[in-house]
Amino acid sequence: MSDPINKKQFKVLKFLVDLFNKLKIKYFIDDGLATIIYGSKRKLYDIDICITSESMNKLKIVFNDLAFKPFSYKKFADCHVHLVTFRINNIPIDARTDKREYVCHTGKGKKRCVKLHDEFRNTKIVKFRGLRLRVINPELLFVTKLFINRKCDRTDAKAILKHRRMNKNKIIRLSKKFEIEDKVLKLLI
């Protein structure tokens, strides 16, 4: 099986981590890359990172000064997500603030949001290919993947569960907050 992260993506990841450390930007890795770090073999499309709200303006200034384009900023009014999108060497980067609501499309045009406070408490330092990365913890990643509930997210959740030892009590506690206990328990049994 081929490597889920190509050399170009890894170089961009290393550049970002070095830059964030140099500028003292607090961050963590989320979504697809975190899933790969925890064992998924799926191909990486973009690099998803979360930074503190305070660092978002610094990030926009730094990347605009470095002329990384396109650079866009979105605020999704219905779920209060602040998202900055840019490219480095044609690799898409999605940076969002830590004031996040996870959104689940429940069908018939309805959505449900769950707000988490201080996601940085739900992270851990992981060594990955010689880099020390702050990554969303596998329990929260597992539960949010099931909550978002797209086919790719359900596949990611199964991969995380298969390849990673996790704290089942923490998973159950988080699944209650997201109101998906039944779905989580089916996979844990």
Residue 41 — φ and ψ, nearest 5°? -105, 10
Segment holding 35, helix H or strand E: helix 31-37
Q: How many CB atoms lie within 10 A of CB 90?
A: 7
The DSSP line for 112-163 is EEEE-S-GGGGEEEEEETTEEEEEE-HHHHHHHHHHH--HHHHHHHHHHHHH
Interval 106-119: pLDDT, tens: 545 555 566 665 66
Mean pLDDT check: name the lowest of 140-144, 160-164, 169-173.
160-164
Interval 12-42: pLDDT, tens: 999 999 988 998 888 899 999 999 999 888 8
Rounded CA separation 169/74 (Å):
35
Rounded CA separation 14/20 (Å):
10
